[in-house]
Structure 1
Amino acid sequence: MCALAADASPTSTANLASGNRIRVGTLAELQAKGRHLLKTGSKQIAVFASESGVYACNNRCPHEGFPLMEGKLTQGADGGGCILTCNWHNWKFDLEGGETLVGGDKLRRYPVEIVDGEVWLDLSDPPLEERRTAALESLRRSFRRHEYTRMARELSRLQQAKADPLDGLRGALDWTADRFEFGTTHAHAAAPDWLALRDDLAADEQERLVPLLEIVGHLAWDSLREPSYPFPAESRPYDAASLVAAIEAEDEAAAIALLRGALDKGLGFRDLEAPLAEAALAHYQDFGHAAIYVYKTGQLIDRLGPTSAESLLCNLVRSLVYATREDLIPEFRAYGEALAAWQEQGADGGADGGDGEGSEAVTAEDLRRLSVPKVMQRILRSSGDRKALYDALVGAASADFLQFDLPVADATDKGVSHNVGWLDFTHAITFSNAVRVLCSRHPGLWPQGLLQIGCFIGRNAAYVDRGYDARRWRVDDPDAFFEREMRALFDHAQPEYIVSVHLVKLLSAAKEEITADPAAPWVSDMLAAVNRFLHEPLKRKHAKRTAQQALGFVAAES
Structure 2
Amino acid sequence: VSQHHLDYGHGAIYTQKAFEILDIVGWERASTLLPHLANSLTLGTREDVLPYMRKAARAIDAVDLDALAAAKRSADWTLSTELVDLLLDAEDAPIDEAVAAALDGAGIEGLLDALSIGSARRLLRYDLDIEFEPEERFGWLDITHALTNVRAARWAWDVMPGPHSARIALFAVWLLFDSGRAERRNGAQPEPAVEPATGDLVALARRKDEPGALAAVAAAGPACGPELLNAAFADPSGAFIVIAHLVKLTWAAMEETETTGSMLPLLAAARYVAAPRTERFVARNVSAALDFIQTGQPPRR
- The answer to whether residue 87 in structure 2 is matched with residue 367 in structure 1 is yes
- The answer to whether residue 179 in structure 2 is matched with residue 460 in structure 1 is yes
1:439 and 1:345 map into 2 onto residues whose CA distance is 13
Alignment match, 2:271: 532
Contact 1:338 1:376 in 2 (8 A): yes
What amino acid does structure 2 have at the position aligned with 1:405?
D
Q: SS of 1:477's equivalent?
A: helix
Alignment match, 1:213: none
The residue correspondences of 1:3-82 to structure 2 (distance < 5 A) are none
Contact 1:428 1:453 in 2 (8 A): yes
**TM-score normalised by the chain length of structure 2:** 0.78
Which structure 1 segments of 5+ residues have no match?
Answer: 1-279, 355-360
Q: SS of 2:294's equivalent?
A: helix
1:291 and 1:503 map into 2 onto residues whose CA distance is 18
Q: CA deviation at 1:420?
A: 0.8
CA 1:449 to 1:545, structure 2 compared with 1: closer, same or farther past 3 Å?
closer
What amino acid does structure 2 have at the position aligned with 1:400?
R
Contact 1:402 1:526 in 2 (8 A): no
1:542 and 1:316 map into 2 onto residues whose CA distance is 24
- The answer to whether residue 56 in structure 2 is matched with residue 313 in structure 1 is no
2:171 and 2:111 map into 1 onto residues whose CA distance is 12
Alignment match, 1:549: 288
**TM-score normalised by the chain length of structure 1:** 0.44
Alignment counterpart, residue 245 of structure 2, candidates 475, 495, 502: 502
Q: CA deviation at 1:545?
A: 5.1
Q: CA deviation at 1:490?
A: 5.2
CA 1:457 to 1:557, structure 2 compared with 1: closer, same or farther past 3 Å?
closer
Q: Which structure carries more strand by proportion?
A: 1
What amino acid does structure 1 have at the position aligned with 2:172?
I
Count of aligned positions: 264
CA 1:379 to 1:551, structure 2 compared with 1: closer, same or farther past 3 Å?
same
Identity %: 25
CA 1:477 to 1:547, structure 2 compared with 1: closer, same or farther past 3 Å?
same
2:233 and 2:285 map into 1 onto residues whose CA distance is 33
CA 1:538 to 1:343, structure 2 compared with 1: closer, same or farther past 3 Å?
same
2:26 and 2:121 map into 1 onto residues whose CA distance is 38
The residue correspondences of 1:192-271 to structure 2 (distance < 5 A) are none
Structure possessing the higher radius of gyration over alpha carbons: 1
2:27 and 2:110 map into 1 onto residues whose CA distance is 38
With CA pairs under 8 Å and 6+ residues apart, which has the higher RCO, 1 or 2?
2
Q: Which runs of 4+ in 1 moved over 4 A?
A: 542-548
Contact 1:339 1:447 in 2 (8 A): no
Contact 1:349 1:446 in 2 (8 A): no
Q: CA deviation at 1:341?
A: 2.5
- The answer to whether residue 156 in structure 2 is matched with residue 413 in structure 1 is no
1:469 and 1:513 map into 2 onto residues whose CA distance is 19
Alignment match, 2:258: 515
Q: CA deviation at 1:332?
A: 1.3
- The answer to whether residue 58 in structure 2 is matched with residue 337 in structure 1 is yes
Q: CA deviation at 1:477?
A: 2.1
Q: CA deviation at 1:290?
A: 0.7
Alignment match, 2:148: 430
Alignment counterpart, residue 381 of structure 1, candidates 100, 106, 116: 100
1:367 and 1:490 map into 2 onto residues whose CA distance is 32
2:43 and 2:285 map into 1 onto residues whose CA distance is 26
Q: SS of 2:64's equivalent?
A: helix
Alignment match, 2:120: 398
Alignment match, 2:158: 440
Q: CA deviation at 1:507?
A: 1.2
CA 1:489 to 1:557, structure 2 compared with 1: closer, same or farther past 3 Å?
closer
Q: CA deviation at 1:542?
A: 5.9
Q: CA deviation at 1:556?
A: 2.6
What amino acid does structure 1 have at the position aligned with 2:117?
G
Q: CA deviation at 1:408?
A: 2.2
Q: CA deviation at 1:308?
A: 2.4
What amino acid does structure 2 have at the position aligned with 1:382?
A
Q: CA deviation at 1:377?
A: 2.3
Q: Which structure carries more helix by proportion?
A: 2
Contact 1:370 1:461 in 2 (8 A): no
2:219 and 2:284 map into 1 onto residues whose CA distance is 38
